[in-house]
Amino acid sequence: MTKGTLLRRLLFRLVKNSGSPYTVARLVHMLKSEGFSTSADLISTYIEMIKNTKFMEEVEILGTETERKRNPRKLYTIDHQMGVLFREFGFSEGIVLEHAVFSSLLRLGMNINYYRDENGYETDFVLSDTSMTPRALVQVSLGLEENKKREIRGLESAMSTLGLKKGIIVTLDEEGHEERSSGEIEIVRGWRFLLNPKRYLDI
């Protein structure tokens, strides 16, 4: 198989799992299982090429250099509509919302990471300034009926650890406020947040 075929298959894999944690080792294993001859160095080179085209953007865990190297990264398709074209079954509404929020945050020109605590609770996006000081926390959830406790738990953990008094949950059509010991959690409809993210972020 040609390198062009390998690159197309890698791109398909990355877009199919856009927004999910990945490791180069896992990608190499999957591609080899499909009959491709490849290596970690080649796959890393291809990923850098894809990032340089601005088709996808990488998000690392918030932490030290050692922690960033040790933990999986995430790649997001910057234009989620392009992502739909590359996926077999299209994006779900939740994935579209998460990618749309990511694209709106990217335009703010801040550093974007994700956060995970020692219990595995995650916050989707941590926005930091040029000195890598966390300034805002954003969680994305299509709806909170079934997973409100988990989403809030992730934000509360990040707020307490990072010293922030506010967290945002962006949903499809829910709004509200939660007052917690760690601070305020604001629940915002997606369309409102996407129109003016700065309105809700203390940055």
In this predicted structure, what is the pLDDT of residue 88? 57
Using the CB atoms, write b or e for 120-152: b if 16+ within 10 Å.
ebbbbbbbbeeeeebbbbbbbbbebeeebeebb
In this predicted structure, what is the pLDDT of residue 79? 81
Residue 128 predicted with pLDDT over 70: yes
Structure-token match 């896992």, residue found = 26
Percent of the chain having pLDDT more than 70?
94
Q: Give the contacts of 27 (CB within 8 A, at least 6 positions apart).
A: 10, 13, 14, 43
* Residue 72 neighbours by CB distance under 10 Å: 15
Mean pLDDT computed over every residue of the chain? 90
Which 3 state secondary structure label does DSSP give 196?
Answer: coil
Domains of the chain: 1-91 (1.10.10.10), 94-203 (3.40.1350)
pLDDT digits (tens, 9 = 90+) for 109-120: 999 999 999 999
Confidence of residue 98 (pLDDT cuts 50, 70, 90): very high
d(CA 92, CA 86): 13
Structure-token match 């020109």, residue found = 109
- Output the pTM of the full model: 0.91
Confidence of residue 143 (pLDDT cuts 50, 70, 90): confident
Residue 49 predicted with pLDDT over 90: yes
